[in-house]
Amino acid sequence: MCVKEAFVLINCESGSEDKVVDELSKMDKVSEIQKIMGVYDVIAKLEADSESDIKMWYCQKYEKYIQ
């Protein structure tokens, strides 16, 4: 089976980047996290068995942080 990958670009409140990185590091399917400069503050790489697994992760794990 081929592993699917996706990247999530994240804007953070000023000064909260380390907390966001820490929270993401505890989540399943997150394989890499980097703080970046520019329009976005953090990028996270996801790996899963299918695109539907990635979409489910986004809806269940990530969206609760952006509301």
What confidence tens digit (pLDDT) does each residue in 17-33 have? 999 999 999 999 999 99
- CATH number of the domain at 59, please: 3.30.70.920
Tell me what pLDDT residue 17 has.
94
Q: What is the pLDDT of residues 30-44, one digit of tens each?
A: 999 999 999 999 999
Per-position DSSP letters for 26-48, written without gaps between them: TSTTEEEEEE--SS-SEEEEEEE
**Is pLDDT at 65 greater than 80 in this prediction?**
no
Tell me what pLDDT residue 10 has.
92
The answer to whether 23 and 66 have CB atoms below 8 angstroms apart is no
Confidence of residue 59 (pLDDT cuts 50, 70, 90): confident
Cα–Cα distances (Å) from 37 to 31, 45, 47, in that order, read 20, 16, 23
Structural domain boundaries, residue 20: 4-66
**Is pLDDT at 60 greater than 90 in this prediction?**
no
Report how many domains make up the chain.
1
